[in-house]
């Protein structure tokens, strides 16, 4: 097979070429994994605003129910007063008459308190309605913004997925030119080191962990007799100027 006849330098070139593609693959996979969290934040904010609106609507309903109960109470007191008034002519003693008058006065006093509460309740209902309408407008606008953000998110995810497919295809074209043992070793490091399997030496330092490399390591790299790895991070090393 042609691969077997290629020297180590050629193999390192192929691994470097593969690394360039793999960095993109890992980046796209990372974006596909992490980007949904961005949408989740917006969705949580949207749900929070909807919950606030529901809270305001529930408050309005509670106030309206209370108003209804007060109105029913007022009606009952008015009926009680009317009934008490109608019974005055049926009373036989002055004592009964005076007692009924006192009862009527107490009913009228209670009625006045209920009427006052109802008037205050009207203001409370109006304020609650304004709060609900204002919040509805905010939620409606946020819903539009969220829908736009969702569409943008979906479009971006599709683009990333397409870009990932392209890079995977490029990777598949490179793979046959890499020796299986080198490839296996490279991929093991790649997956353990978050997408960085082979790195160039920069100023006598590992391009992955930045540990200083001895002259002996540099010399071993220049010999191209075997794959050289960093003692610190275990990534494969190469000299960019040598390729």
* Residue 118 resides in a domain: yes
Residue 3 pLDDT: 42
Q: State which residues form the domain around 86.
A: 32-177
pLDDT digits (tens, 9 = 90+) for 176-232: 999 999 999 999 999 999 999 999 999 999 999 999 999 999 999 999 999 999 999
- Does position 4 have pLDDT exceeding 80, yes or no? no
* Residue 203 resides in a domain: no
* Residue 39 resides in a domain: yes
- Does position 6 have pLDDT exceeding 70, yes or no? no
Report the run of H or E that residue 7 belongs to, with start and end. Answer: none
pLDDT digits (tens, 9 = 90+) for 84-111: 999 988 888 999 989 989 999 999 999 9
pTM over 0.85: no
Give the number of domains in the chain: 1
- Does position 2 have pLDDT exceeding 50, yes or no? no
Burial profile 80-102: b = 16 or more Cβ within 10 angstroms, e = fewer: bbeebeeeeeeeeeeeeeeebee
* Residue 119 resides in a domain: yes
* Residue 95 resides in a domain: yes
- Does position 5 have pLDDT exceeding 70, yes or no? no
Of the pLDDT bands very low, low, confident and very high (cuts 50, 70, 90), residue 40 is: very high
pLDDT digits (tens, 9 = 90+) for 232-242: 999 999 999 88
Neighbours of 135 (CB within 10 A): 18
For residue 100, give the CATH number of its domain. Answer: 1.10.287.1490
Helix ranges (H only) for the chain are: 8-87, 94-174, 180-192, 215-223
Give the distance, in angstroms, between the CA of residue 58 and the centroid of all CA atoms in the same chain: 26
Residue 243 pLDDT: 75
* Residue 59 resides in a domain: yes
Nearest-CA neighbor of 145 among 17, 27, 49? 49
Distance, CA of 175 to CA of 211 (rounded, Å): 30
Neighbours of 50 (CB within 10 A): 14
* Residue 125 resides in a domain: yes
Distance, CA of 33 to CA of 151 (rounded, Å): 18
């Amino acid at each position: 097979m042609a691969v077997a006849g290629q020297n180590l330098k050629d193999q390192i070139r192929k691994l470097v070429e593969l690394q360039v593609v793999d960095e993109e693959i890992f980046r796209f996979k990372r974006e596909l994994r992490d980007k949904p969290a961005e949408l989740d934040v917006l969705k949580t904010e949207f749900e929070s605003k909807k919950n606030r609106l529901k809270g305001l609507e529930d408050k309005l309903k509670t106030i309206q129910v209370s108003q209804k109960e007060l109105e029913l109470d007022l009606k009952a007191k008015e009926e009680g007063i009317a009934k008490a008034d109608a019974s005055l002519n049926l009373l036989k003693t002055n004592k009964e008459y005076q007692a009924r008058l006192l009862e009527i006065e107490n009913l009228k006093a209670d009625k006045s308190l209920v009427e006052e509460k109802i008037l205050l309740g009207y203001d409370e209902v109006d304020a609650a309605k304004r709060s609900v309408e204002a919040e509805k407008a905010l939620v409606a606008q946020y819903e539009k913004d969220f829908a736009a953000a969702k569409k943008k998110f979906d479009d971006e995810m599709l683009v990333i997925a397409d870009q990932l497919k392209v890079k995977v295809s490029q990777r598949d074209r490179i793979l046959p030119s890499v020796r299986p043992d080198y490839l296996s070793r490279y991929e093991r490091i790649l997956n353990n080191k978050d997408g960085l399997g082979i790195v160039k030496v920069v100023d006598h330092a590992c391009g992955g962990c930045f540990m200083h490399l001895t002259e002996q390591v540099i010399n071993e790299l220049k010999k191209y007799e075997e794959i050289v790895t960093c003692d610190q991070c275990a990534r494969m090393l190469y000299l960019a100027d040598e390729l």
